[in-house]
Structure 1
Amino acid sequence: MAMQKVIPAILTADPADLRGKLEILKGHTNWVHIDIMDGYFVPNNSVSIFELSGVYEVFNLEFHLMVLEPEKYFRDCDEVGAKRVIFHYEASQSIDTVLEKAHQCQFHIGMALNPETTVEKVQPYLSQVDSALCMGIDPGFQGKEFIPDTMQKIPQIRFQRRDILVGMDGGVKEENIRDIFAAGADYAVVGSGIWKSHDPADSLKKLQEIVQ
């Protein structure tokens, strides 16, 4: 599965906003990162997974499940053609159950780490996931300030497992994206860093050019 270095994120509870943003991204990205929220693990809600039906024909879909009991969402992700699904270490009562359910699906499985979660805590599971996503902010909102110390996890994860895909999500912008890749990230997820600009497609292009 080809990986691109900068992936735009969509965080919205409005299906019309979702469709509008997907339209803006057409022709500018092969991958889209969709934040799915339940109002419990994080205090926001989002569009449902099924609002993405058919989108797999245009984009590779990465779902970020900011939800409790993420395994209950896996079948829906599979049905809409997800390429990668990311669950939160902190949202799961039984990581073993989550991984067992994930490995019954077609998508690649990733694990997200909140800023306060150490690599030491997740180390036992790194051999069982395809990717690790380091959160640069507390999850659930776009536009928060990046926490620089979270970059230290990237080489720590790589030390534990050299062939794992490592991403950074939250607070990514022009000012820090070089540092994120210098730390060893394979890709970065960008939300407000593009959507708060007057030309999101151009902002995405600039970020892509910085890290090429």
Structure 2
Amino acid sequence: MDYILAPSILSADFKELGKEMKKTEEGGAKYLHFDVMDGMFVPNISFGIPVLASIRGATEQVMDVHLMIREPIRYVEDFKKAGADIITVHLEACEDVHATLGKIRDAGLRCGLSICPETDVEELAPYLEEIDMALIMSVHPGFGGQSFIPESLEKIRKTRKMAEERGLDLDIQVDGGIGMSNIREVLDAGANVIVIGSGVFKGDAGENTRGYMEIMKSYE
């Protein structure tokens, strides 16, 4: 299993975004997490297609696009053209989850499905064979800097168990409130793709990235 750090640029200094991204790449982060919010599914607005297109050429990292928007099926092709490598959508935001996942796969992209803290992890079960990655939100989506919800650990364990019982090589991503104080708990529960925002970008992004990568490499 690969253990992957996905720094969330939502917490980056946008005046220095290119430099900050390069620091995380040089520090060993394989992914960049790109949070898209529409002000409807979540109570905040972030950035979208033009920003992704503008930064795509600044890094060789995998563009891990997390769509916190209603009916994301409408924008799959646009995000592909802008440079997305992975598109993750929310189960709660899709009228037809199967169709949305199929649209992502048909576009030739890796496919993720996320659930909010209020959603039972069992609701992922019908879709596990259709996705490459399950994203467990460990905070309420919409804002950075929130505290990790402890009950998320059991959701991670249950998701890993469901995947193993089906013989699936499923990535489990966790997003929200993760830092040096609890990253090992999250990894021990069964996650292997870790999203970290302020923990990477507050301070020296390269040094912070290397610190998290040292921990994650110890699990390989």
TM-score (norm 1): 0.90
The equivalent residue for 1:34 is 34
Contact 1:14 1:46 in 2 (8 A): no
Quick one: higher RCO (CA 8 Å, sep 6+), 1 or 2? 2
Contact 1:50 1:76 in 2 (8 A): no
The equivalent residue for 1:96 is 98
Q: How does 1:97-112 map to 2 (within 5 A)?
A: 97-112=99-114
Residue 160 and residue 4 in structure 1: after superposition, are their counterparts in 2 closer, same or farther (change >3 A)?
closer
1:203 matched to 2:203: no
Task: Give the length in aligned residue pairs.
Answer: 210
**CA drift at 1:4:** 4.4
Distance 1:138 1:17 in 2: 27
Contact 2:23 2:206 in 1 (8 A): yes
> CA deviation digits over 1:148-181, x for unaligned, max 9?
1111112211222222111111001000000111
- Which of 138, 152, 155 does residue 154 from structure 2 map onto? 152
Unaligned runs of 5+ in 2: none
Q: How does 1:41-80 map to 2 (within 5 A)?
A: 41-53=41-53, 55=56, 58-80=60-82
**CA drift at 1:75:** 0.6
The equivalent residue for 2:4 is 5
Which residue identity lines up with residue 183 of structure 2 in the other structure? I
Residue 31 and residue 3 in structure 1: after superposition, are their counterparts in 2 closer, same or farther (change >3 A)?
farther
**CA drift at 1:100:** 2.5
DSSP-derived class of the 1:103 partner: helix
Unaligned runs of 5+ in 1: none
Q: Identity rate of aligned residues, in percent?
A: 35
Distance 2:110 2:37 in 1: 20
Contact 1:84 1:110 in 2 (8 A): yes
Contact 2:174 2:194 in 1 (8 A): yes
